[in-house]
Each structure stands twice: as structure tokens, then as C-alpha cells.
Amino acid sequence: MQTIAETSMMGGTHRVFRHDSTATQCSMDWALFTPEQGQPDSVLIFLSGLTCTWENAATKAGAQAAAAQHNMAIVFPDTSPRGADVANSNDYWLGQGAGFYLTATQAPWAPHFAMDRYITEELPMLINTALDMDISANGMGITGHSMGGHGALTLAMKHPHLFRSVSAFSPISSAMESGWGQNVLPAYLGDDKAAHQAHDATALMASHGWGGDMLVDQGLADDFLDEHLKPHLLAKAAENAGIPLTLRQHAGYDHSYYFVASFMADHVAWHASRLTAS
């Protein structure tokens, strides 16, 4: 793992790493903010949305300012495999920049698109190396925006020993009921409905549940709200499953990082309190 960029920020350090991924079979970049003390009290992964790389959240979300106050490290992975050898499409919701945090079984995606394994199997080891600590002791928090909110919710419910806290910003609340998801799930996974359900946050509320609470923020001026995000489905499933989900809906806020940055400090504090409460 190479360090390809490094600078001080917020009293801590921002670094960008590059490595050959076994999960995605290509070169991957990810960014890490380490607070001033070096050994953080907690670690939070931020999963980005469609078209993003690690850079959108690292530059626009204001996460590091909040993390510095809580002695928290923040991890910013990429959203998909990338490269000339990696399949792609002309649609922004499919292919490079649109990994959907799943393992594709269908051609031409199967050889590289395995972002769930990348995040849950490979990245934790890389984080251990970069931080020189064993994050399995305390676990991590996970959050994300849009497709990354979908990723945070679904990966947390399926990997509760790895993720001890979960929140989301304007997540795709049900991939199966999302316009994006309805295009993407068959392309990556074929027509097997059980495979689709395994990557649907609303379905996972019933099948897997979650042992803690959840925080979701949603802007009500979000152009993708009705067709792609549908937080009411998640809220209903949480209610049915008895999972304490706080869904905050904000009038006037859109889908941009202006929205994410507006509530990031709340999410960082929320994760910090849960990750350091042991």
C-alpha cells in the first residue's frame, strides 16, 4: 500500500492510499483522516454515492472538522473498481462510480465488482495497517450518502460484529423499490429476487434487523426522494422490526454535499458516543 498524498488538516493528517485490491482485482485508492493524537478513539467509514470517488466526501462533507473534536478517524473508500480493464456503462448509475456495495455475479461485472467484500474484508485490514491498531477490538461505525447510505445500512445489518453503529444521509432505502436499483440489481445480480433482497436495506430490516439504533437524515427538497430514495419504506420496516430508527426530514435541503455537510457533525457525534461507550 502506497501513500500517494499526505497533508496536515484540522490538527490531524489527511492521507490517500493506493493498493492492488484482491477483492476488486484492480488498483484502488482510499483516503484516511487521522486526528491529532494519532491513535483515534473510534473509526468511522463514509461510503459515497453515485459518480463519486473518495474525494467528494473528503473535500466537501466537513467530516474531518467534526472528527477532530471526537478524536475519531474517518475512512473514505472509493465507490467501485476502476480502470481501463474494468467494465463500465454510459449510465451514471451502473459501472464505474456505481459499485452499489455488492458482489456482482453477472457478466461483464463479475470479475471486479465486489465492493461489499472490499469494504468488509479487505479495507479493515488496510485500516489496521494505516492506523497501526486492531479495529476489531472496538469495531467501527459506518455511514454514507445516497448509494453510500444504502451501502452503510445493508453492510451494517449483515456485518454487525464489524460495524457497531450505523447512520445514513439520504440513503437508497430500498434498492428493489428504487429506480436506480431496479436497473442495477438485475444487471449485477441477475433475476434472483433473494439476491436482490440481500442488498435491500428495507428487506434486511426484516430478515437481519439491527441490535442498536439508527440515524437517517433526509432533505425534503431532494430531487431523488420520491423515485429513488423512499425513506418511508425504511421507517415502516424499522417500526415493524422494532428497530429504533430516527428519521429526520429537513425542509429545503437537497441531495448535495451542502446537505451532508450541514448534518455531518451530528452524525460524527452520534457515532462517537456509540463507539466509545463500551
Q: Which residue among the candidates 42, 48, 80, 146 is catalytic per the annotation?
A: 146
Amino acid at 195: A
Note if 255 is an active site residue: yes
Q: Please say if 207 is a catalytic residue.
A: no
End-to-end CA distance of the chain: 32
Q: How far is the CB of 170 from a copy of itself (least distance, A)?
A: 13
| x-marked contacts with a copy of itself along 247-266 as a string, rule CB under 8 A | ---xxxxx-xxxx-xx--x-
CB nearer to a copy of itself: give 23 or 67.
Answer: 67
Which parts of 136-195 interact with a copy of itself (CB under 8 A)? none
**Catalytic: 146?**
yes
Q: What is the DSSP string of the chain?
A: -EEEEEEEETTEEEEEEEEE-TTTSSEEEEEEEE-TTSS-SEEEEEE--TT--HHHHHHHS-HHHHHHHTTEEEEEE-SS--STTS---SSTTSBTTB-TTSB--STTTTTT-BHHHIIIIIHHHHHHHHHTS-TTTT-EEEEEBTHHHHHHHHHHHH-TTTEEEEEEES--S-GGGSHHHHHHHHHHHTT-HHHHHTT-HHHHHHHT--SS-EEEEEETT-TTIIIII-HHHHHHHHHHHT--EEEEEETT--SSHHHHHHHHHHHHHHHHHHHS--
Taking CB under 8 A as the criterion, the residue among 1, 3, 11, 22 binding a copy of itself is 11
Interface pattern 196-235 for a copy of itself (x via CB under 8 A): -----------------------x-x--------------
Residue 9 binds to a copy of itself (criterion: CB under 8 A): yes
Which position among 78, 116, 200, 222 bears the catalytic label?
222
From 159, 196, 255, 267, active-site residue: 255
> What is the nearest approach in angstroms of a copy of itself to the Cβ of residue 128?
24
If the CB atoms of residues 92 and 258 are measured against a copy of itself, the closer one turns out to be: 258
Q: Where does this chain touch a copy of itself (CB under 8 A) — which range of 41-49, 55-63, 116-124, 133-141?
A: 55-63
Which positions touch a copy of itself (CB under 8 A)? 7-11, 13-14, 59-60, 62, 64-65, 219, 221, 250-254, 256-259, 261-262, 265
What positions carry a catalytic annotation?
146, 222, 255
